[in-house]
């Protein structure tokens, strides 16, 4: 595995923007760190310490450019500790990525910044380079996915039409239609950002939608099967995103047991299930006519025969994709 090649590839996949100069600087600092460590240490015993100073620059650059894109704010004047705090409190990056960032700051960045007598050896410098490359690549991938998600939301929003017929749609139908539009537009968005993108798309339409994280920020809340919950005084709608079993044969078929229990226990009024598959998927919106509550399923037509949702038939799945057009969030041409 060539970490530098992966780093260059991750940067190359990100569209140009205010972040571009900073991302290129990250690559430059990592390359210079490698050049420092490759110097003859017998002739220059400070080469490894010089490498650490370069990885520190790459570390801070990764944090600041991630903050610029993920938070949508200028990182100028913020310390790495402050940015880490923001990323943690807002569930902006994967918790394990954040742990690695914090560990580097404590083990390398802070000691080298405050102890002018400190020196590092070859092993420490090598570990620093590998660590910085690793979490820089992860952050770059998340930056790319965030940019893709923002663009997908914009395509959905731009295509919104003033439609007098929307008043006839229920909240469940509107939520399902928005989820369909975003799912169609977000084929290049990674899973972690996909669920956040659904919530943000719904918020843009005036809904109170939240991604479900647990209190320790370890990951999505395992106490609920819902990835996104839409709440209002009069209704609660659960949204669950899944991966198509055509691409993961080890996945168990969906059953209605968990849905029935959760919906009745938490007084949910409706549910939307999205089944993501390949990037060239023609997603459709289906309504399960015989479900005991409004149930909408977004998936490729080829996945409908794999939706083992109940021991008993839910009846014919009716294609109601036209709800997206009725709401004014029909699919756009990218």
Confirm whether pTM is higher than 0.85: no
Q: Which residue has the higher pLDDT, 40 or 76?
A: 76
Query: Of all helices (H) and strands (E), which one includes residue 210?
Result: strand 208-211
Between strands 284-288 and 295-299, the pairing is antiparallel
- At 114, the pLDDT band (50, 70, 90 cuts) reads confident
Does pLDDT of 167 surpass 80? Answer: no
Enumerate the domain spans of the chain. Answer: 3-146, 159-327
The single residue listed with the structure tokens 């209190």 is 215
The pLDDT value given to residue 232? 85
Vertex 169 angle, CA 163 and 173, to 5°? 115
Does pLDDT of 331 surpass 70? Answer: no
Does pLDDT of 166 surpass 80? Answer: no
Question: Following DSSP, what letter does each residue of 214-272 receive, concatenated?
Answer: -TT-SSB-TT-S-SEEEE-SS-EEEEEEEE-TTT-TTSPPP-HHHHHHHHHHTT--EEE
Q: Provide the CATH topology of domain 3-146.
A: 1.20.120
Distance CA 233, CA 224 (A): 20
Q: Name the phi and psi angles at 321, rounded to 5.
A: -60, -20
301-312 pLDDT per residue, tens: 887 766 655 445
169-215 pLDDT per residue, tens: 889 999 999 999 999 999 888 877 899 999 999 998 889 998 886 54
Distance CA 332, CA 111 (A): 51
Choice among 12-16, 59-63, 133-137, 277-281 with the minimum mean pLDDT: 277-281
Q: Name the phi and psi angles at 319, rounded to 5.
A: -75, 115
Does pLDDT of 159 surpass 70? Answer: no
């Amino acid at each position: 595995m060539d970490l530098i090649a992966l780093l260059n590839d991750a940067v190359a996949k990100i569209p140009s923007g205010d972040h571009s100069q900073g991302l290129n600087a990250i690559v430059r600092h990592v390359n210079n760190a490698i050049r420092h460590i490759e110097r003859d240490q017998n002739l220059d015993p400070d080469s490894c310490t010089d490498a650490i100073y370069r990885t520190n620059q790459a570390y801070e650059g990764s944090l600041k450019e991630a903050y610029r894109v993920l938070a949508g704010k200028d990182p100028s004047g913020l310390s790495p500790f402050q940015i880490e705090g923001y990323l943690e409190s807002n569930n902006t990056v994967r918790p394990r990525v954040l742990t690695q960032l914090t560990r580097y700051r404590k083990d390398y960045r802070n000691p080298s910044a405050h102890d002018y007598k400190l020196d590092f050896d070859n092993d420490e410098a090598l570990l620093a380079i590998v660590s910085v490359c690793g979490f820089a690549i992860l952050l770059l991938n998340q930056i790319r996915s965030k940019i893709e998600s923002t663009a997908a939301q914009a395509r959905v929003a731009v295509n919104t039409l003033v439609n007098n017929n929307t008043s006839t749609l229920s909240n469940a139908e509107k939520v399902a239609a928005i989820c369909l539009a975003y799912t169609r537009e977000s084929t290049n968005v990674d899973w972690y950002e996909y669920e956040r993108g659904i919530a943000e798309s719904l918020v843009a339409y005036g809904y109170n939608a939240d991604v479900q994280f647990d209190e320790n920020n370890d990951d999505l809340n395992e106490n609920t099967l819902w990835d996104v919950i839409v709440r209002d005084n009069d209704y609660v709608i659960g949204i669950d995103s899944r991966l198509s079993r055509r691409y993961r044969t080890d996945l168990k078929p969906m059953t209605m047991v968990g849905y029935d229990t959760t919906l009745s226990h938490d007084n949910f009024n409706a549910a939307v299930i999205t089944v993501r598959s390949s990037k060239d998927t023609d997603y459709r919106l289906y309504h399960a006519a015989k479900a005991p509550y409004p149930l909408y399923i977004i998936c490729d037509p080829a996945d409908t025969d794999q939706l083992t949702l109940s021991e008993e038939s839910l009846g014919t799945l009716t294609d109601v994709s036209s709800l997206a057009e009725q709401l004014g969030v029909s699919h756009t041409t990218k």
